[in-house]
Amino acid sequence: MKIKFKLNGELKTAEIVSYMTLLEVLRDTFGLTGTKCGCGNGECGACTVIMNGHPVRSCLILGVEADGSEIFTIESVSANGLSDLQKAFLEEGAVQCGFCTPGFIMAGEALFKRTQNPTDEEIKIALGGHLCRCTGYDAIFKAFKKVKVKKTL
C-alpha cells in the first residue's frame, strides 16, 4: 500500500505492507531509529511520536493510518540543537541508559506545545504510562518543571 504523509516537516511517500506498524515504518522504512521499541504493545511509551499534534504510541498504530497525517519524531526535536527539555534532562540527571528518553521527550514536547505553563497534574498525566527502569521518575519530573519555569519567566 502507498502512504503519503508529512514526516518531520517533509512530505514523504512509502510503499508498505498493510500490517506494518507506524513504529516499523519509521524505523525500518525511514531509518528513524531514535523512536524505540520497548514493549511493542502499548505499555512502555518508548515509541511515542507526535501525530497531528498529539503524542501517540507508534507501536499501536498501523502505518497505513499515517496516510495524510503529520508526524514528528525525536529526530525533529534536536534538528537545530538540543531542546530546552533535552537540556533539562541532562542537567537533572534524568537520562541513564536513555532507552525511554525519546518517548518522554516527545510527550513533553507535545505538552509544552499545548501549554507553556502546565500544572503538576498535567505534567504527571503527560508522563503517565511512560516507563523508566533506571532513573526513577523524580529527575524526569524535575526536568519538566525546570522547562516550565524557563518558559514562564
Which of residues 26, 47, 106, 126 is near ligand FES by CB under 6 A? 47
Closest CA relative to residue 100, chosen from 59, 70, 71, 140:
140
The residue count for binding ligand FES (CB under 6 A) is 22
Query: Which residue blocks in the chain are alpha helix, DSSP H?
Result: 22-24, 74-77, 84-91, 101-114, 120-127, 138-152
Q: CB under 6 A: which stretch of 9-17, 36-44, 81-89, 141-149 binds ligand FES?
A: 36-44
- The x, y and z cell numbers of residue 118, run together, are 502546565
Q: Which x/- pattern over 89-118 shows residues binding ligand FES (rule: CB under 6 A)?
A: ------xxxxxx------------------
User: Which residue, 4 or 90, is less far from ligand FES as judged by CB?
Assistant: 90
Per CB under 6 A, 137 contacts ligand FES: no
